[in-house]
Amino acid sequence: MNNQTYFCGIDVAKDSFVVSIKNGSFIVKNKIFNMDINGFQNLQQTINNYKDSIVVGMEPSGIYHLNLFNFLKQKNFTTIILNPYTLHNFFKFTTNKPTKTDKKDSQTIASFLEFNKNNLLHTYKDDQKYNLKYFVREKEKIIHQIAQTKTEIKRIVCITFPEIEKFNIFNNNILSLLAEFGGAYKIKNMTKEDFIKKTQNISNTNNKGKKPQISYEEIYQLALSSIASYYPEYESLLKFKINKLKNLIKEKQFISNIIQQQTQTLFKTEIQILTSIPGIAEETAICFIAEIVNIKRFANYRKLVGFCGLDPIIKQSGKFKISCKISKKGNAHIRRTLWIMANCVKKVCPYFRQYYIKKRNQGKSYKDAVICVAHKLLRVIYALLNENRTFK
């Protein structure tokens, strides 16, 4: 890039964004635009004069930056998404003041672009690939919500129908039955014939899935001897929780289909490479590749290790030097995925199993040995993806 390149830093918030433009000195400083079509068009008019020689940079802000980023890409502006951790370090390097504001951030981003003008590697050339991360994280969030909702349902069933709790109450038919009756009290006040007739209607409606572990006749007998009293509030709440669970499961399936489609379109080769390592399942491989997107982003495997937060903290003073715990400053999502991957490969892949045993024999704890395996796994993955070959 030549000296006539202009650098536009944008700090994005939910309802507005702040812009600073720099070329040696600031040409535009701390100009605020609304996060709407008028704001986008006003920004376009502001930077149009520099269109052929301007680089626009912004820090990812959840999902709020996506519309602005795509608008600028569609208008053919060179637009870059910056690494927040790298930008944070640059901010600490360039100022001793703890003050941090939206206006200050836009100036910092512009200065960062200018400082790194010969090494602007973090471009979103394949911006569609970066959308996968949002859906993978959303699915992860839904899985946690499903687990939490199941725990809440169990608590309520422990009050309204404790005898049935020892069976799989998350069978589709039993869930529908619990949503219909709420608990044992209503069932025990029905005749057996009425109960069986109503449950058959439920079964006909829910004809998918596995059969319950317990028959409806047995459920009726459990209800007759149940210790549960009548709790109308809990029974109503149970119905809401069950409906919530079913909706979450549908949402998870919907997002899983989107992830599968995007993976097959954008990351088919990468997933094949990752799953060629014994112990790495497709779902885990998708979680991993969604976070790193493109291995070319990392100049060497140490950069990848740092991105995952697995680089050790080293403390030194004079002759005293010690390596402490891992930094954990990197991407928490990929670090959790990598922990799962390392635990799996050390069990089923002889190459990593031998390495794990070696580290244990050297006196390392279980956790430290798994972290060592994770380091080795990252080195292998980095080589495989760079060389576009499978594991042998």
Q: State pLDDT tens for residues 193-224.
A: 888 888 877 766 665 656 777 888 888 899 99
Per the rule left: phi > 0, alpha: psi between -120 and 50, beta: everything else, 193 is alpha
Residue 343 has what pLDDT? Answer: 95
Residue boundaries of the structural domains of the chain: 6-124, 135-257, 268-387
CATH superfamily of 6-124: ATPase, nucleotide binding domain (3.30.420.40)
| DSSP string of 288-341, one letter each residue | HHHHH--GGG-SSHHHHHHHHT-SEEEEEETTEEEEEEE---S-HHHHHHHHHH
pLDDT-derived band at 123, boundaries 50, 70, 90: very low
pLDDT band at 380 (very low <50, low <70, confident <90, very high): very high
Give me the pLDDT at residue 96, please: 54
Answer with the residue of higher pLDDT: 41 or 119.
Answer: 41
What is the DSSP-derived secondary structure letter of residue 365?
Answer: -
Q: Closest Cα partner for 208 from 179, 173, 242?
A: 173
Mean local confidence (pLDDT), 93-113: 71
- What is the share, in percent, of the chain residues with pLDDT greater than 90? 45
What pLDDT, on a 0 to 100 scale, did the predictor assign at position 289?
94
CA distance 391 to 383: 10
Task: Find the largest Cα–Cα distance for the chain.
Answer: 88
Nearest to 8 by CA among 48, 64, 65: 48
pLDDT attached to residue 271: 95
Q: What is the CATH number of domain 135-257?
A: 1.10.287
Query: Can you give the pLDDT at residue 392?
Result: 84
